[in-house]
Amino acid sequence: MAKPPPAEEDSAALRRRLRRSLAAVAAGGATGDVFDEAASALEALREAELGTGGRKGCGGEGRRPAVVEEGEKEVVTVPPHFLCPISSRIMSDPVIVASGQTYDRRFIEEWFSAGNRLCPQTHQALLDTTLIPNHLVRSMILQWCTENRFNLPPVESQEENNVTNSDQKTFDEIFTKITSSPKSTEMRQAIKDLRLITKQNSDFRAVLEERPDSISRMIFARSTPGLQNDPQVLEDMVTIILNFSLHDSNKKVIGDDPEAIPFLIWALKSGDMGSRGNSAAAIFTLSALDSNKEKIGELGAMGPLVDLLADGNIIAKKDAASAIFNLCLLHENKSRATKNGIVDVAMRAIDDQLLVDGSLAILALLSSNHEVVEMITKFDGTACMLRAIRESECSRSKENAVVVLFAICMFNRLKLKEVEADEKINSSLALLAQTGTSRARRKAVGILEKMKRSMHNRHMSC
């Protein structure tokens, strides 16, 4: 077997990947796959530089897991990678800095405000102090908090309304052409112009707060002859909504617009691949709010998202998987995903080695339901999860696979024999019990103990 490249070479390549992703995000209008790529590069870089033996912290000391206690509840240990390296507290609003490290927004902003321009962990000089929301880490923290009944402190809004009179004037000029021009060619060009400016100018997006009916008015303008059946106009409008949704304060504005979410769902069903993928990305961004999760689920987005995960291109699949995962953090949406065939689609994606990480994350989130576990089992889920534990290079995917496998063994004890036979050959669970994440170790140990009791009972009955 070929030896892996040296850590230094890995780190250099990963830093280049991360810089490219951060540059795309900083430019504005990045789709969900760009955030996924940044998060993936960040996790791989962390593994390459820090390994599994610990994490570098400020001053070179490793970060210890935080122990928190809520009232009379059981003491809970927070996973180390959910802690801010500056405060050692669980992160409410994780953000990525130019060095690729993740911090809680409040504390890294205080660090920068004090005049510091070095990364607290790597001591790398930061020429750019742009902060990129780490949606992936936040989603994982929210999932952990839900599972452990831990109340995450609310995120304080850090986004200021920096819209200028010039921005307002520019928006009004463009929007007048979109809604009032007698010429479809002029309307089409104005729509393109709005897509471009909302991508390039993040401050400009704040205009929507002062003109909350703009999305509905733009959608109605699409009924103009010459625009109604133009796929490019549809993609441009969907992307405008996506770009506006990246401004935190706009998430509620768009969610409260009676036309916006139904329009995105319609585009998700009827548009070309560009429109469908950007609709999924917009839904993912909007689903950061629980109130939007509920609306999106009730209005029927889950079916088209599952269809996109099944038949989209790789970028669209990533956006669909991110949206489905986020929506399923709301309990009511889990049953919607199940009824729309998410288990079938996710299992096939894993078998085809397409979007394995995202599919495992979704299945782990749903695996507390007996019906879901039965479906996974019918798709040869035991062998599939054991293979993922053995072969995946991502610690989070190994964790999700063993979470699903634990649920299978809980609901179908006959599968313990299959796991036992594999363990005798590969010792995958024993290794994971020593080297996995905190949650992965607990689940692996739990399965091993069940196997031990099962063998003991068989021995006693002989």
In the numeric block, which tokens belong to residue 106?
């409040």
8-30, pLDDT tens digit by residue? 345 666 666 766 666 565 555 55
260-287, pLDDT tens digit by residue? 999 999 999 999 999 999 999 999 999 9
Backbone angles phi, psi at 77, to 5 degrees: -100, 120
Q: Do 378 and 298 belong together in one domain?
A: no
Task: State the pLDDT confidence band at 32, using cuts at 50, 70 and 90.
Answer: low
Return the pLDDT at 25: 56
Q: Do 322 and 366 belong together in one domain?
A: no
Residue 51 in this model has a pLDDT that exceeds 80: no
Task: State the pLDDT confidence band at 75, using cuts at 50, 70 and 90.
Answer: low
237-267, pLDDT tens digit by residue? 999 999 999 888 899 999 999 999 999 999 9
Q: Do 247 and 199 belong together in one domain?
A: yes
DSSP per-residue letters across 222-247: TTSTTTTT-HHHHHHHHHHHHHHHTS
Q: Do 94 and 144 belong together in one domain?
A: yes
| CA-based R_g, the chain, Å | 24
Q: Do 172 and 137 belong together in one domain?
A: no
Task: State the pLDDT confidence band at 461, using cuts at 50, 70 and 90.
Answer: low
In a domain, 48, yes or no: no
CATH of the domain at 277: 1.25.10.10
Domain boundary among 120, 148, 176: 148
Reported residue count of the chain is: 462
Domain boundary among 290, 309, 340: 340
Q: Do 143 and 202 belong together in one domain?
A: no
Q: How far apart are CA 325 and CA 320, in angstroms?
A: 9
Task: State the pLDDT confidence band at 236, using cuts at 50, 70 and 90.
Answer: very high
In a domain, 56, yes or no: no
Instruction: Give the pLDDT mean for 107-134.
Output: 80
Return the pLDDT at 53: 38
In the numeric block, which tokens belong to residue 1?
């077997």
In a domain, 321, yes or no: yes
Return the pLDDT at 452: 85
Q: Do 198 and 280 belong together in one domain?
A: yes
Q: Do 127 and 265 belong together in one domain?
A: no
Return the pLDDT at 411: 86
CATH of the domain at 138: 3.30.40.10
Q: How far apart are CA 410 and CA 395, in angstroms?
A: 23
Q: Do 123 and 209 belong together in one domain?
A: no
> What residues contact 38, with CB distance under 8 A and at least 6 apart?
18, 21, 22, 25, 96, 132, 134
Of residues 380, 370, 267, 395, the one with CA closest to residue 319? 267
Q: Do 310 and 434 belong together in one domain?
A: no
Task: State the pLDDT confidence band at 402, using cuts at 50, 70 and 90.
Answer: very high
In a domain, 65, yes or no: no
In a domain, 156, yes or no: no
Q: How far apart are CA 278 and CA 102, in angstroms?
A: 26
140-159, pLDDT tens digit by residue? 888 888 888 787 776 655 45
- Which pTM was predicted? 0.69
Residue 312 in this model has a pLDDT that exceeds 80: yes
Return the pLDDT at 250: 94
In a domain, 85, yes or no: yes
Q: What is the mean pLDDT of the chain?
A: 83
Of residues 28, 32, 39, 22, the one with CA closest to residue 323? 32
In a domain, 135, yes or no: yes
Q: Is 209 exposed, middle or buried (0-12, 13-18, 19+ CB in 10 A)?
A: middle
Residue 337 in this model has a pLDDT that exceeds 60: yes
Residue 190 in this model has a pLDDT that exceeds 60: yes
In a domain, 6, yes or no: no
Residue of 443 and 41 predicted with greater confidence: 443
What total of structural domains would you count in the chain?
3
- Residue 367's domain comprises 359-461
Q: Do 332 and 419 belong together in one domain?
A: no
| Residues 285 and 30 sit within 8 Å (Cβ to Cβ) | no
Domain boundary among 284, 313, 340: 340
Q: Do 186 and 318 belong together in one domain?
A: yes
